[in-house]
Amino acid sequence: MSVVKGYWWLPSNESKKIAGNLEQIDDGTAVLDLHGFLGHFLENEIILGVTLLGAPVTLWKCFKRSTHFSLNGFEAMEKYGCQITINGVHFNDKQRMDFDGYKFTFDYLENWLDKQVLTINENRENNTFKSLTIKYEQPEEFELAEIEGIKLVVSYAHSLGDKNNSKVSINSSAQIVLKSKTKIPLEELLNNYLIKLQNFLSLVMGKTVFPKNIWGVIEEEEVYRDVSVTLKIPFSSNKKNGFYKERVPYSLIKENSNMIINNWFSGSNDLLPIYDLYFANLYNTNLHLTNRFLNIVQALESYHRRRIGRGEFMNKARYKKLKQKLYEVLEEELENEEVVEMKSKFSHLNEMSLKNRIYDLLEKYDLKEIYSEINEDLIAKVVLTRNYFTHWDKKYEDKALKELELNDVTTLLMRLFETCLFIELGLDKKTLVSIKES
């Protein structure tokens, strides 16, 4: 948490500068306390500022949190929350808020890439220790993928920490660099690259990861400078440190990383609402178990519908004739309002049930052997529990999954959905088996 003092104003009224303090919260949110009234403010507007040291600051996606007046009514205090802070440059218009490139780091990225940077040689004579040589070699940058003309490149940097006669520390960090021949809007980075890469890395690492440092790159007369970008990261406060063990190490996809990452971006565009159900479970560790279960069941059901089909068991022409006959009976026997209500229930009558969709996923993707524990009895329990949590019908209460069993089944269904995502990436069955067993 840090506090910066400065003067702040709206782009439309630069002459009215208000003194205030900018406090950066740990989750990336910025809170601006002003000693005065900023003026007419619209939600998500830009606020510009300059620190007492003369550094420019752009605050974006701001919203007013409170306004206070003194007892005499002449002095005002305003508080704003801002989701994005850009240090080192002013942007008057979000339409022009773009950079020549970007750099960013993620949790555990170095572990996943697993590049050797240190070699240690111990020198002994007659089994007696003489010296120790530690050599740091910075890996060369390499390309992960190219997506619609924008290259995703990995580069390394290092820094020396403690250094004295008895101790030295070397910190090596990997960062992903977006390189483009044209400027990339900040909004495109946030909506199209950063979140998709975060989700991809969380999936392949088997652990929630979050962006740590973000820089926008500005080219000025063939000289590049980095501008720090701080933003609110949803659920980052839920992050838990602990044992790291990647599910799909980089070495496993290294030769096909361009295809795999492009597949991920393409799938994210096609299946975004469905992916969101899965990642809501993954990132929001405070989500109630009931909601986690419903999310992943809906994700599997919707994924089957999108990728395999509606699952119609009767051809459309035959079903249309049958439905018309049913309508005729309804119109003869029921009142108008009742007919409308009954007709609405026929919209999904010719589609697969949840039970059959799960069966079909296992069969179509050849996963019956890998997920042998997902049998007829378990699927019946999943369907019954879904119905209970959706309608809270007392007749299902005693048979619905509860507590530990519900948690285990939810985890199993999460693994099944992840396997579907790995298939989307283009991984083969041998790899899928090894991932399931890891």
What confidence tens digit (pLDDT) does each residue in 132-149 have? 888 888 899 999 999 999
pLDDT digits (tens, 9 = 90+) for 361-372: 999 999 999 999
Q: How far apart are CA 340 and CA 61, in angstroms?
A: 45
pLDDT at 387: 94
pTM summary value: 0.87
pLDDT digits (tens, 9 = 90+) for 403-417: 999 999 999 999 999
Q: How far apart are CA 226 and CA 223, in angstroms?
A: 10
pLDDT digits (tens, 9 = 90+) for 78-129: 899 999 999 999 999 988 999 999 999 999 999 999 888 888 888 888 888 8
pLDDT at 311: 64
Q: Is the pLDDT of residue 308 over 80?
A: yes
Classify 82 as helix, strand or coil: strand
pLDDT at 131: 87
What is the phi/psi pair of residue 429, to 5°? -65, -40
pLDDT at 125: 87
Q: Is the pLDDT of residue 272 over 80?
A: yes
Q: Is the pLDDT of residue 346 over 70?
A: no
Q: Residue 343: which of 360, 355, 325 has the closest Cα?
A: 325
pLDDT digits (tens, 9 = 90+) for 185-241: 999 999 999 999 999 999 999 889 999 899 999 988 777 899 999 988 877 656 655
- How high is the mean pLDDT of the chain? 88
Q: Residue 200: which of 254, 279, 300, 293 has the closest Cα?
A: 279
Handedness of CA 292, 297, 298, 303 (dihedral sign): positive
User: What fold is seen in the domain 2-94?
Assistant: Thrombin, subunit H (2.40.10)
Mean pLDDT of 296-320: 84
Q: Is the pLDDT of residue 60 over 90?
A: yes
pLDDT at 243: 46
Distances, alpha carbon 287 to alpha carbons 235, 237, 254, 281, 428, in Å: 11, 14, 34, 7, 32
Mean pLDDT of 266-275: 92
pLDDT digits (tens, 9 = 90+) for 428-437: 888 888 887 7
Quick one: what percent of the chain has pLDDT higher than 90?
59
pLDDT digits (tens, 9 = 90+) for 311-326: 666 677 776 777 777 7
Mean pLDDT of 290-301: 97
Domain residue spans of the chain: 2-94, 97-255, 272-311+351-437
Mean pLDDT of 266-278: 93
pLDDT digits (tens, 9 = 90+) for 393-404: 999 899 999 999
- Contact criterion met (CB below 8 Å) for 168 and 160: yes
Amino acid type, 102: Y
The pLDDT confidence band at residue 347, using thresholds 50, 70 and 90, is: low
Q: Is the pLDDT of residue 64 over 60?
A: yes
Three-state secondary structure readout of 131-190:
EEEEEECCCCCEEEEEECCEEEEEEEEEEEEEECCCCEEEEEEEEEEEEEEEEEEHHHHH
Mean pLDDT of 375-392: 95
